[in-house]
Structure formats: structure tokens, C-alpha cells
Structure 1
């Protein structure tokens, strides 16, 4: 790879006299070795084989980057996830063809403390797992290349070793009290970059426009990387509109200085970036000097944002109801090390659900995420990871300042970003003996002032720290109606009460957990125990599954049936709150957390509308029915294979659709057409009580929106037999595709009747040639999982051999099956 890269560079220098960004940056993804432990010292990482190390201990494994130390152990039901040092190493062929050029390692994110070595020389350290950072390895490489060992033992390659460390540390943010894993590893892209000794380190594009879109203003500022103190240079630049037309150009000489404003222009009637039409302009530039040219490109957009005091949110002068969700950097099988394809899939699924706003919880996220928000039209609240625990000392506070500065400067040009978040749940004590509200207020004011100084064009915000609500521009209180406290019918009143307390109100974090594939014929039953009309916030202990007052999070059934009702109610209410700026459901996707070991999927926060592997839950379609325009219809219950009730009893069937009307069919017979009315709860009036027959039933819907017709269909069995306590299990292979088998265990009572409300803990095991597809953090990818409606599923990679699968559940005889 590096040989071909060399030829590309030579061609560019000889024939073009310039190098584009894509030609001078190489993604370092392959040929890495990884060690999940610490070393005695750097010598152990670079010591050649046979030099005092004949056994080659410790054992390294081959990996590709991005890579997360906690790819699987974060959801291992039997372990605490690893928090400690880990090592990565590789050998690079360094060929910088710029005369006196600089060689740089560009990290897009690594957690949480990182040390970088060239051979045995430590060249840099970095604290913080979520911002980008660069390391100049030029001098260390040059020194090593002069040594005899460079050619004799490393054959002209340079050994690079990287130590990451996510050990628990009270003086680090985020706090380990946080409801998410503080991951370790090089879990975002790492790039090798060659630049001339004078280059543009960062280009700041300030794009402003009035609410009517009549006139736009651009102010361009360059930050240089100039370690050799090169003097004069010149710059050529073009502004290109979304149609590819050059609207303005510049060619001028520069006297190099820090953060140099070099161009201000006016753009008449610019094309406006919006959530419906996210058009972007481009700045293409070339810095020209005697020691080499540096080219680059930045995208930006013109848009006007306004959170009206005591009112809604306006984009480009018009009200926009922010329809939002949240994102953690977490995925089945890879944890934080999501590939670009995974990220694109996730963000596209959000947009297809109707999302126009996202809060990135609770830390800066990758350039890939921000670029997709820009191009898809998703407004962003991005925040630093000052999350829970209280306030630490000087080291702690300096880290927060640095993270805020890095976040704002690195993501300054993204038109999607409208809010810089300064913290989350800062009223949550525990990391330090002292919890001083006034000291927290003082530091929050400092961060608020710093944010406005760095970027006066965007708002500041925090969530759930009432004693700091007056400091920031936008505030989100804790409102969890129908989950941690109260009923979901309390939502509107609770929001009105909180809205009255602050200048600008935005509700982020609402919803509740649902165990995928668990359904209920009476999902709201537990609401009868709940005190309504009072507080709906989350307080200490509310997330616990034990103790305290009655609450749905403890006493509910965690079914998809209940959560779809909760979401349905919230969305219908939000349509009739004209003062509301918006809200963001927590979160889009289930994610791993160390503080929830007893959840139905251990160590998983299961509040997502999709599972950790992108499998859609039923709630995804509730959002689509309110938030999207493309005609859709979805019958509730695609993952509900057996419904139950009495003979002749009518059972409700719900259809989530954005169409104006729908007709339902049961076993080929029409049961009438209904009109959609968003205020007719549940399912916006698209619900029918149908007389299922014992055994197999087929339900079909035909929905219409104008001249467009959409359909959906489900099949299920209707069980009328009543059941008792589970006393036996049956393990079956229900499917096989290629070399992967799907196993299902069912729980039965003493009469052999399927126990459809059984939630027993299921423990899968496997002996032989195969391998369980577990530690995925999903309802069908966990070896320990609570049953859903008396069953549980897991997959097995057979490896073309023989295996014996087992299922253990307390109080029930263990079962086996040969595969």
C-alpha cells in the first residue's frame, strides 16, 4: 500500500506541484497488533523477536482499526468490562516527499488516555476519549532512521506503539458513574498525514445570514501549522455554491500569524441549509509557499437559528418543531469502533424515521457523524462529557475547558450544529466528598462564557441540573412521564410547568425501556399502581429495579406494547404544544452500560427504538407514523408470534400509519375503514377490536394517502388455553442459513401449554465445534437473557462441525440439543 502511495505522491509533485488532502493522508487501518493488558515498558513492545524474548510472551493478536478494547466484554453477563491499559503496535514505511515536511498522526478519537511512541521515544500524550488530536512524529522518526537498528532489524520501517488506558480515574470526565461505558482503544480512525512545513492546520468558516435569507456574510480565518517559522505565503481560494458555481474567488499574499482573518465577503440571497434541503457551499483553498503547497476543502452552510424566548424554535425565520433522538457511539460486536458503513446506516435510519434533530450524548462524536448530520439535514446538540459525579479539581476542570475548546473549534464549520452542550446531570453527586452547588455554578458560568467567546453564533445548553438552569441559553429539565415517575398522561402538564421556569425550553430525554420481542395484551396494567399528577422527573434510585415507590421502570412489564403507547401519547401531545421548541427521545438505539447489570439483557440500556444491531422495534414505526410524509403502514406485532385470550374475545389490533385512512382485514374479511386522527389515542384512531380464531390468523391492512396505497400483513397464532407455572423447556432449531443455526427455547407448564407471560432467566450454553453468537447486547444475541413471552432465541455458528447446545433456567430441568 505504501509503495503505491509513494508513486501517487511523486506524480503529484512532478506534474501538479500540489498534493490534495486525499493524497497526503493515509488511513492506518490494517497490520496492527493488540494486547489487552499493560507492559513492563515500551521495550517490550518493540523488542525484536529473539532478543531476550524467545517465547514471544505476551501474546499479541492481529486487529484492524478502528478497534475497541471492550468490543464484547461490555455486555458479558459474567464480567465487569475491562478498564485498564491496552497496547497497539505496527510498523510504518515513512516516506514524506515534502522537503522538510512534517509527518503527523491524526487521531479522530481514542480512549481515554493515550501515549504514542516512535520506537522507544514517547512523542506525545493525550487525555480525553472523544476529541480529535494530532501528533507530530517528524523529529522522532528522523532520529530513529539514523540508527543502525532501523535498517538491520526493522528493514526500513518505523515501529509505532500506542498505549490507551480507560482505567477508572476520579479526575477524568466522564464520570464512571455515567450510564454508559467509558470505552478504551483506538475506536475511531487513525490517519498518517504528510504536510509541508507550512500548512493550514484549521480553517474557520463563519457563515451568517438574516432570517429572511436576503444576505449572507462570510468570514474566513486560517490557523497555521508552522513549526519551522516560515514567513510569507499566498493563498488562492474559491467559494462554490451548491450547484457547483464559483461565486467568489481570492488570490492574495499573507503574512503568517496565528488565527489570521484573511477574507470577508457578502453573498446575496444565499441558498439556505435546512432540515428538508440541506444544501452546502464549499470552500476550496490552496496555500502556496516556497516549501510546498497545501490544499484543502471545507463545507459550510447558511442558516439562521433562533430559540424564541418563552417560545418555539425557528429555522430560517419559520417555526420548526424539533423532532429528535439521541446517539451513543456503540454497536453490537464492536462497541465504540463502529465502521463508517455502520454509522451511515444508523444516521440514515434516523432520517427515515423522521428525525430532524439529534443530541449527541454525552460527548463529542466523530467527523463522520457530523458530516452526515450536515448532508442529511439533522440539527445537532453536541456536548462535552462533563457527566455526573460532581466537580473535581484543577486537572478535572482544565480537561473540561480543553474539551469544550476542542469541540467548538473542531466542529465550528458544521451547519447542523446549533447547540454546544456544557454538561449532563451535573446535579448527580458521588465522585468526591464535597458536592458544592455554588462551585458547580461558578464553573458552569465559566464554561458558558468560554463557549460564547469561542462561538457567539450558537446557543449553550445543559440537561438536568436545575440549580444551573439560569446560566445557559437553553435548558432541558428531567421529564420521564410514565417511566421513572408518574403516568405518560402527565407529560403535557409537566412540560408546561417546566417551560414556565426557564427562558428557553427544550425537552431532551424521554421514553422508557422495552425488551425486544416482549409483548403484552394488557400493557398499561401497571399504571393503576402509579401516583399521577405530580413530579415526573428521575431521582436517585429511580433507575433501580428494586425498592422505592411504584413506578413503571420497576413495576411495568418492559414490553414493546407499553412503550409504543407511551411514545404514541407523547407524540400526539407534542403536535398540540405550539410553544414547544422540540423534544428528543432517549435514545435511538439500545446501548451498553455498566450500571444496569440486571436488565432483561444484562448491561444494556434498552430504551432504544432499534436494538444494538439495528433490528427495528415496533416503536420505530410509531415515530414514522407521526414524523414522516412518505406513505407507510405498519401493523403492530411483527415479532409477536402468539397472542392469547378467551374464545370469542375481541382483541385490539393497532396500525401505525401516516396515511389518511386504512382498512383492516382478518383472515380475508374486511372489518372496516377508519380515518386517521392524530389526537385519537392510541394509534391515531387506526385500531380495531377483532375476533381472532383459535390457531393461525392473518391480519392485513390497506392504507391510502391520496392516490398512494400501502399494505402490511402479519400472521400469528391465537392461544386460548390458560397456563400455569413454567416447569419444562423445549429447545429447537427453527432455522438455518448457510452455517448459522437459529435456536429457540420455549417454556411450558405441567400440561404442556406454552407460558406466554414467562420472563424466566434463560442461560444458553454450547460445547463442541460451534460458537454462540452472544455478547451482542441484543434480545437474540445474549447467552443470558430474560424470556420474552415464554421464549428466547440465539444463533450458533456451526463451523461445519458438531455441537451440543444447552439451556439452563433456575428451577426447571436443563435441556440439551445436538446440532
Structure 2
């Protein structure tokens, strides 16, 4: 395999290091003791200069932060402003304690957005373009030069000043495009590590674990790539391979010449334990490199599995059909933007697996290695792609970045058995970054990427989504099918998918679904949708994402209720169970995320298609997926965030129960409503739907499974039989949410009512919160209860307040001039 190396721009010394992740036992996460400056400085001296004698002046002002850190932790979803795009600086002091004589000192970046420069004291030692790569900077010579200057060392207390400039300024000659439906974040938003390695070390390890089609035998080949700036010619490598249970199955030692790459081990494995979605068996390879009394250990996990996309047919894993039940992920979270911690990542991926997911597309860029490792552990197959997303095709620098990121993505994540697809792009039929939009040039470049991917890794397949004029180039193609949202009605889904499947050899359906505003519900979710044309296709057309103009469509004319979205998802999942040719489909996305192109959404600047909110709070749609995909018994009555239903007295109301249990009984206000059997083709809710009479006022509904393992759910709500007029006033109340270290947290809730005080349960007006006093709104979270400006859900809105043990006044107003602002004292 030809190795394509992108070398860092090293200013001191002549050593180069590939972008692959450095593996070492001497690695420390640099999380604490950082200072951050939003904006630029005049020169690098401003970052390290001492204050004038006797002066307390510090210009500019730096703010303490913890890594990972994102420029846009909150402003990405601020309803009143564009998110910040520009430079930002970080600085800290390194306590260098290299255990290796003549060893190297490295900074291992897991990702930094989007252009990065690294300085030791006043010396620029490295730079990088691309916000989603893992890459490494060798700072050895710069540190040595600094510590050889006693006056500098004395001034910094023996520590070494490190300064890093990140920049996410708009640049059309970079990927991804700023036309993309997600924020191009800035900052040190993934972990940064200080690593020490011997004078010769392992740069990366490549493991080829090849399983034959009969699944009885496998071959294992282990290669190492070295970092060897001292040109050492002889080392010893000790290789141990362990089974998933930890048993040593291979143990070898050999002398190697650490120049470029070296083959360390080849072996046949009899009756290998197979990696699968239900039993993700992981082997371990430990390599210890010995030289001159020093050693370095690299540990990699891998797995044996065989997959196949059958031509115009299903997907097979280890010889059996597996329907890929998928979703998507953006690196984005409430309150932190892209700067998710490892704990937050694990919580998200675990919640995803508990929903029943066995496949994920990482959109639209390579993501943290932590996510890939979690997919390995949890049994989630992966489509990972580079951020060539929208806008057209740039010039030489642009194309070089795309190739470099593709190569680096493959090298960095090669050993993860979860990965089966390398994505080459997304929506590359979307123009407007450049005056020229040349389909021929885009096709030529797509071919280059396809060939490059197979040169780097011929064991996996390539794919793109939504670029019809390139669909013949890649191995797997996903067209645009948004039945029931951007076009058509959702009952068009199966026919539209079958038609698209016939156009390509290998079909996969990435991205389907639609937006829903968490906590908004409807008694009639199909109102205003009668003018939508059925049977005319289901692809997304130019302008369909707009809330104005164009043909009738649910995305523009619908109510964005959870009530509509559970029905759309329910129909898709019902149909997928009958499509024996389907490889799989991936719902877009798992979690709501921020986007600069949707300022007028119910939660401003948030794409609200997720089945959980941006803080991982599940919507009702989460449980629809569970009812089809999860193995653990579950039961969920629709409407846990619907406190008031409405209708006429004695009117029959539908109650939906989502469950994977064979039989379910429903009880309403103590009266049994009968037992129903689950049948996925009995729409909606797989047959678990009842028409019941509700009583005015309080109602209690209980659903419980029948059988040995009983699971149950209880729901309480009010049934409103009064009719209401136009919104005339806001009624507010305060509830206590518990304590936090920073002070007590309260929830301010408001309800639009008419002049008589009847709740306006269909009101969708914008509600805006403000605060004066000691407390602070918990805002800019990008959630239904975490935005100071939000569309009402059934006339309601809410926000949490950190009272900070003081007094505050919260103001609440809506966009109806006649409705007076109300004030709530806390």
C-alpha cells in the first residue's frame, strides 16, 4: 500500500511526522490551566510578554478556560446574532518532564478548528489546516531552545509557554463550505495531549484482519509506521495479540529497521471470534518497541468481520442479512458546541445503542477517535466521511485539503472494525461558493477521491449522499428521499426508495425524517397538508428547506409537532420491515444541532430533526424507534410532554402506545380498554392504538405488557373541553428544579391564554425571556427550554434560571403587541 504523508510545517528542525495518531504510554491530556482570548493579537510577543514593573495592566484580557473548548459554545444558537467566525488564542505553561533521554516532545491534537498555529514562546513550530483531523506537532527543538535561555526559564518558573491560534474565519477555499447546514466551529474543541516518545517511536499501526467468506479462517497482518528523526537503523519489537477474553494467542519478538513501515507479524487465525452488531468481539494487539534501554508501547484493538453490499439487494454481515438501522451524528451539544467531553460522548452513544441503532453515519466530517472506539465497543457500524460538503469545487488548495483529510481519516481510523464505508462527500450538487459550477470537474475530482480511498484501503467501500451526476462513481450511493417532509407524503416512501434502488448497484438511504419542535403536540397533525401532491417523487429540491414559498410541503405547511413526526417515523419503520432488498436507512439525525442557515426555526438556529434534543432529552420519536429496534422490553404512552389535550366532551380520542412487547393492555381512569397484540403492519403504533373517551379535567392512563416480564407506563394529563379565543395574556408560574453548586435552579413557565383565561393550545407565537438581578437565564442551549427566544409549544414556553442565591426579576413577552409583558420575581 502506498503511504501518502502530509508533513507538518515545522519551523525548527527538519524532522517530519505523519498526521496519524501517536500511540504512547506517556501521554497527558492538557485540560486545565488555560487562558483564552477571543480575537487576535498584534504579534506573538503579546501572548508571552511580562507586565510592566508595578503595573496590573493586562491588554488584551484573557479568560480562564478548560479544554476541550469551543469559540461557539453558546453564540451558535444565540437568537439575536451571527455566530463568531475569526481567530482565537489559547495559552498555557507546560511542565516538561520527558522520561526519555534524547526523546521527542509532541503535541497530539485530536482536532482543532479550523486553521491552527502552534508557538513555543515566540517561535512558530507548526501549523495545520482542517478542523477535523488528528495531527501531531513535534515541539522538541523549540523546547530545547527555550530552556537553554536561563532568563526565559526563570521568568516562567521553569515552565515552557505554549500559545495556540485557532481560526474559523470564512474561507471559500477550505472545506466544509459555509453554506453547509451546520456551524463551522472554532477552537481547541477536542482533547489536546502532551506526549513523550523515545528517539525512535511508533507513529501508527495498521492491522489487516481479513476474514474469509466461510467465516472459519482469518489472516492477520500487523504493520508499523515509525517516527525516526534520528535515522536509527535497528530496534526490537515485541508483539502480543490477545483474544476478546484477554487470552494471549500470539507472542512474537523480532528485530526491525524502523524506516518508513515494517511488517511485524503475519499469522493465520483458526475459528476467529467474529465482531458483529450484537456481539462486538474485539481483539487486542500490543506492540512494545525497544531501543537503547527505552521502550514505547502501542495498543490497538481490532476485529474480524466480513460485510457485503449485495447488488440491488440487502446488506450482509458475517454471511447473514442485517438491516442497517441507522442514524447520524454531529459533533454538537448544548452549552459546549463542539467541545464535548468523553463522558458526554459516551452518554450520547449509549443512548443511541439503547434506541436500537446498529449503524451510524458521522456527518459531515471525521469525528473524534473516542466516537469510533465507542462504535467498536457497542457494535455500531460506521459510515465516516470527509467534509467536502456543498458549495461546488474550489482550487488547488481546496482539493489538496480534501485529499489530505481523506488519507488522514483512513490512516487514523483504519483499525476500527466498526468502519465499513469511507464517505467522499455530501450534497456536492449544491452550488454557489464559486462563480463556476462545473459538473464535469466535480465528477473528475470525485473519481480521484474514489481511487485514493481504494489505494489507501481496498477492504472498505466508498459512498456519497445526494449528487446524482456522481452516483455511478462510488460503490454505494444514497439519493435524497424525504417523503412526507420536503416533498410528497410519507406513504410515498417505499415506491420512491424502490425506484432509486434500481438506478444504482448498491443503494443505501441516508437522511430521512423531518423537524419537530419538542413539547409541541397536535390533536390533528395533518391539518393544512391536504394540498401536498402525492406520487410525484420524494427528493429535496432547491428551496424546500425554506419556510416560505414553493410547492406545498410538510416542512413549510405542517405544524412541526411531535404528533406528526411520530406518525411519519412509524410509517417508515413499518415499511422497512417489508423491504427485503433494503440495505438499510439512517434517520437524520439522532440529536438536534446548531446551524447558521435556520434562524427562524422554532428554536432559532437549530436543526430540530433529532429524536433527542441538543442536551440529550428524548423526544417522543425516540420511543417509536425503540419500539421497532430495541431488544430490551419497553413501553411508552405517547404524550409525556403533552400536559393538556383538548376536544369536545364525549369525543373519542386516540391513544398511542409504543412498545416492543407482544401484547399490551390499556387502562384509562381505572377502566380497562382491552388487550391488543403488536403487529408492525397495523399502523399506527404497530396495532397498539385505542380510541377512548376522556373526562374533562384530570386523566390517568396506564399501559402494561402482558406476559412474564411486565413493563408498564403511566401518563397523567388534563383534558380541556372549553374553546378558546385569540391570545390575550401571558400567565406565568415558577417551579423549583433542584439545586446546583452555583445556586438553586428554578423553572419559569408561561402559558398564552385568551381574555377569559382559557389556554390557547394552538398558539405558536414567539416567546422571549429576559432577566434583571443576581441570577442568570440558562439560555443559548439550543433546546425547547433553553432558549431566551422560542416558539410556543401549545401556547407554552419555559426556561430555567440559576438564581445564584440572589434576587431577580424575569420578564416574559410575546410577539403579539396587544399582549402585555409579564414580570416574575424570583
TM-score under structure 1 normalisation?
0.97
TM-superposed CA distance for 1:247, in Å, is 1.1
Cα drift, residue 148 of structure 1: 2.9
Asked if 1:117 corresponds to 2:119, the answer is yes
CA contact (8 A) 1:198 1:291 kept: no
| In 2: Cα distance, 1:375 partner to 1:494 partner | 35
* Unmatched runs of 5 consecutive residues or more in structure 1: 1-19
Most deviating of 106-115 and 747-756: 747-756
Which residue matches 1:290? 292
Partner of 1:13: none
Which residue does the alignment assign to 1:719? 720
* Cα separation, 1, equivalents of 2:403 and 2:289: 31
Contact 2:25 2:298 in 1 (8 A): no
Match of 2:138 among 136, 139, 151: 136
Q: Secondary structure at the match of 1:168?
A: coil
| 1:529 Cα deviation from its structure 2 partner | 1.6
Please tell me whether the aligned partners of residues 638 and 656 of structure 2 are also in contact (alpha carbons under 8 angstroms).
yes
Contact 2:24–2:297 (CA under 8 A) maintained in structure 1: no
Distance 2:737 2:132 in 1: 40
Deviations, residues 300-345 of structure 1 (Å, cap 9, x unaligned): 0000010011110000000000000000000000010001110000
Q: Is the 8 A contact 1:208 1:218 kept in 2?
A: yes
Matching of residue 741 in structure 1 with residue 743 in structure 2: no
1:815 — aligned with what? Answer: 822
Pair 1:80 & 2:85 matched: no
Please, which of 432, 438, 462 is the counterpart of residue 430 of structure 1? 432
Measure how far apart 1:23 and its partner are: 4.3
In the alignment, which residue of structure 2 is the partner of 1:17? Answer: none
Aligned to 2:368: 366
Residues 197 and 291 in structure 1, CA contact (< 8 A), matched pair in contact too = no
Matches within 5 A, 1:191-206: 191-206=193-208
Which residue is 1:33 aligned to? 35
User: Does the CA-based 8 Å contact 2:627-2:634 persist in structure 1?
Assistant: yes
Q: 1:753 aligns with which of 745, 758, 763?
A: 758
Give the C-alpha shift of residue 734 in structure 1.
2.8
**What is the number of equivalent residue pairs in this alignment?**
799
Gaps of 5+ in 2: 1-21
Displacement of 1:151 in angstroms is 2.6
Match of 1:628 among 622, 627, 630: 630
SS in 2 for 1:713: strand
Query: Is the CA contact (8 Å cut-off) linking 2:325 and 2:586 kept in structure 1?
Result: yes
Provide the rounded CA distance (Å) in 1 between the counterparts of 2:110 and 2:824: 46
Listed one character per residue, the Cα deviations across residues 455-505 of structure 1 (whole Å, up to 9, x for unaligned) are: 000000000000000000000000000000000000000000000000000
The structural deviation recorded for 1:709 is: 1.1
Give the deviation of 1:53 after TM superposition.
7.5
C-alpha contact (below 8 Å) 1:196/1:291 kept by paired residues: no
1:783 and 2:784 equivalent? no
CA deviation string 1:138-189 (max 9, x = no partner): 0000001111332321111100000000000000000000000000000000
Residue 735 of structure 1: SS of its match in structure 2?
A: strand
Structure 1 distance, partners of 2:215, 2:528, is 51
Whole-Å Cα distance in 1 between the matches of residues 560 and 55 of structure 2?
54
| 8 Å contact kept, 1:175–1:386 | yes
Which secondary structure does the structure 1 equivalent of 2:520 belong to? coil
In 2 relative to 1, CA 375–711 (structure 1 residues): closer, same or farther, beyond 3 Å?
Answer: same
Shift of 1:809: 1.1
CA apart distance, 1:54: 5.0
Aligned to 2:708: 707
Distance 1:134 1:415 in 2: 24
**Contact conserved, 2:238 with 2:254, CA < 8 A, in 1?**
yes
Match of 1:513 in 2: 515
Matching residue of 1:550: 552
Question: 1:16 aligns to what?
Answer: none
User: 1:258, 1:134 → 2: CA distance?
Assistant: 17
Please state how far the C-alpha of 1:22 moved relative to its aligned partner: 6.7
390 and 477 in structure 1: CA distance in 2 versus 1, 3 angstrom threshold: same
Give the equivalent residue in structure 2 for 1:448. 450
SS of corresponding position for 2:528: helix
The residue that corresponds to 1:588 in the other structure is: 590
In the aligned structure 2, how far is the partner of 1:173 from the partner of 1:373? 26
> What is the distance in 2 between the residues matched to 1:44 and 1:517?
49
Q: Is the 8 A contact 2:24 2:196 kept in 1?
A: no
Cα distance in 2, alignment partners of residues 63 and 598 from structure 1: 31
Give 3-state SS (helix, strand or coil) of 1:106's partner.
Answer: strand
Q: Secondary structure at the match of 1:430?
A: coil
The residue aligned with 1:126 is: 128
Distance in 2 between residues matched to 1:780 and 1:91, nearest whole Å: 39
Aligned 8 A contact 1:99 1:291 in 2: no
How far is the alpha carbon of 1:129 from its aligned partner? 0.5
Q: Distance in 2 between matches of 1:396 and 1:167?
A: 15
2:531 maps to 529
2: CA distance, partners of 1:53 / 1:158: 23
Deviation, structure 1 residue 21: 6.3
Paired position in structure 1 for 2:616: 614
1:648 matches 2:643: no
Q: Please state whether the residue corresponding to 2:203 is helix, strand or coil.
A: strand
Q: Distance in 1 between matches of 2:109 and 2:95?
A: 18
Alpha-carbon distance in structure 2 between the residues aligned to 1:125 and 1:152: 28
Query: Structure 1 residues 52, 557: CA separation in 2 closer, same or farther (over 3 Å shift)?
Result: farther
In 1, distance between residues paired with 2:144 and 2:358?
Answer: 49
**What is aligned with 1:9?**
none
Measure how far apart 1:290 and its partner are: 1.6
SS in 1 for 2:596: coil
* Rounded Cα–Cα distance in structure 1 between residues aligned with 2:703 and 2:257: 69
Instruction: For residue 141 of structure 1, give the secondary structure of its aligned residue in structure 2.
Output: helix
Deviation digits for residues 667-725 of structure 1 (CA, Å, limit 9, x no counterpart): 01101111111001100110001100000000001113x42111001000000011111
Deviations 1:65-97 (A, max 9, x none): 000010000000011000000000000111212
- Checking the alignment, whether the CA contact within 8 Å between 2:153 and 2:160 is kept in structure 1 is no
Deviation at residue 296 of structure 1 after TM alignment: 1.4
In the alignment, the residues of structure 1 paired with residue 221 and residue 55 of structure 2 have an alpha-carbon distance, to the nearest angstrom, of 58
Which deviations, in whole Å up to 9, do the C-alpha atoms of 1:343-372 show, x marking residues without a partner?
000000000000000000000000110000
Rounded to whole Å, the distance in 2 between the matches of 1:524 and 1:493 is 21
Superposition pairs for residues 664-675 of structure 1, below 5 Å? 664-675=666-677
